[in-house]
Structure 1
Amino acid sequence: MSGVVLNLSDTGLAGTLLVLGGARSGKSRFAEGQVTALPGPRLYIATGRAWDEEMQARIAQHKAERAHAGWQTVEEPLDVPGVLERHTHIPVLLDCLTLWLTNLLLEEQDVEAQSTRLLHSLSTRAAPTVLVGNEVGLGIVPDNVLARRFRDEAGRLHQRLAAQAGQVVFVAAGLPMVLKGQKPA
Structure 2
Amino acid sequence: MSLPPLSFVTGGARSGKSAFAERLARLGPATHGYIATAEPWDEEMRDRIARHRLDRGTGWHTVEAPLDLPAALSQTQGAVLIDCATLWLTNHLLADHDLDAETARLLDALARHAAPVIIVSNEVGWGIVPDNALARRFRDAQGRLNQRLAARADLAVAVIAGLPLVLKGTLPGGMA
Equivalence map 1:31-180=2 (5 Å): 31-66=21-56, 68-87=57-76, 89-180=77-168
Identical-pair percentage: 56
Structure 1 residue 52, shift from structure 2 partner? 1.2
Deviations 1:133-155 (A, max 9, x none): 00000111100011000000000
Q: Is the 8 A contact 1:40 1:90 kept in 2?
A: no
> If the length of structure 2 is used for normalisation, what is the TM-score?
0.93
Structure 1 residue 41, shift from structure 2 partner? 2.2
Q: Which runs of 5+ in 1 are unaligned?
A: 1-5
SS at 1:163's partner residue? helix
Q: Is the 8 A contact 1:27 1:174 kept in 2?
A: yes
Match of 1:20 among 10, 24, 29: 10
Structure 1 residue 59, shift from structure 2 partner? 1.0
How far apart, CA to CA, are the structure 1 residues paired with 2:99 and 2:163? 31
Query: What CA RMSD, in Å, does the superposition of the two structures yield over aligned residues?
Result: 1.4
Q: Is the 8 A contact 2:86 2:121 kept in 1?
A: yes
Length, aligned pairs only: 173
> If the length of structure 1 is used for normalisation, what is the TM-score?
0.89
Structure 1 residue 38, shift from structure 2 partner? 1.0
Deviations 1:18-60 (A, max 9, x none): 0000000000000000111211322111111111111111112
Structure 1 residue 182, shift from structure 2 partner? 1.3
SS at 1:20's partner residue? strand
Deviations 1:51-83 (A, max 9, x none): 1111111112222333x4300111110001111
Q: Which runs of 5+ in 2 are unaligned?
A: none
SS at 1:77's partner residue? coil
Letter in 2 for 1:95: D
Structure 1 residue 184, shift from structure 2 partner? 6.7
